[in-house]
């Protein structure tokens, strides 16, 4: 499955390049390949390009969206951020690296849900966070 098959996001704000596996509803595994030509690297930081932590959290949220939207019960909905708790950044991520993403969805109802995401590079934890989201109609 391609991420843009289920997510409404499009470049330059689609960060999940590849969905490795998905269990519709409960979980997903994916990757974000950092090529180095992403626009944010030129300003974050000149001479020492680093992936912003908030974009790592966004990539986890997008992968969580893949898991939720792959479930036919939620395919016509849009998951929006409701909150982030306990976000921790453990490792710098730089151009040329691949961020291995994994998200497990916790509570999930018709209107909202929770999840936990972890991002690794080469087996080393780079970021993890608890995610909260609300589900809205795609209409607007």
Tell me the pLDDT tens digit for each residue of 80-122: 999 999 999 999 999 999 999 999 999 999 999 999 999 999 9
CATH of residue 20's domain is 3.10.129.10
- N- to C-terminal Cα distance for the chain? 26
Residue 140 has pLDDT above 70, yes or no: no
Measured distance CA(137)–CA(78) in Å, rounded = 6
Catalytic residues, which ones? 44
Domain residues for the domain of 40 are 3-137
Measured distance CA(59)–CA(31) in Å, rounded = 9
**Look-up: residue for tokens 């626009």?**
39
Q: How many domains does the chain have?
A: 1
Measured distance CA(6)–CA(15) in Å, rounded = 14
């Amino acid at each position: 499955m391609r991420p843009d098959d289920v997510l409404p996001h499009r470049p330059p704000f689609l960060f999940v390049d590849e969905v490795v596996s998905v269990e519709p509803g409960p979980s997903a595994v994916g990757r974000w390949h950092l090529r180095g030509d992403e626009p944010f690297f030129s300003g974050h930081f000149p001479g020492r390009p680093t992936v912003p932590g908030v974009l790592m959290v966004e990539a986890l949220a997008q992968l969580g969206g893949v898991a939720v939207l792959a479930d036919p019960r939620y395919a016509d909905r849009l998951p929006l951020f409701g909150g982030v708790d306990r976000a921790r950044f453990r490792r710098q991520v730089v151009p040329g690296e691949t961020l291995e993403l994994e998200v497990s969805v916790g509570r999930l109802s018709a209107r909202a849900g929770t999840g936990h995401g972890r991002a690794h590079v080469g087996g080393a934890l780079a970021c993890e966070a608890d995610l909260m989201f609300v589900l809205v109609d795609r209409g607007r």
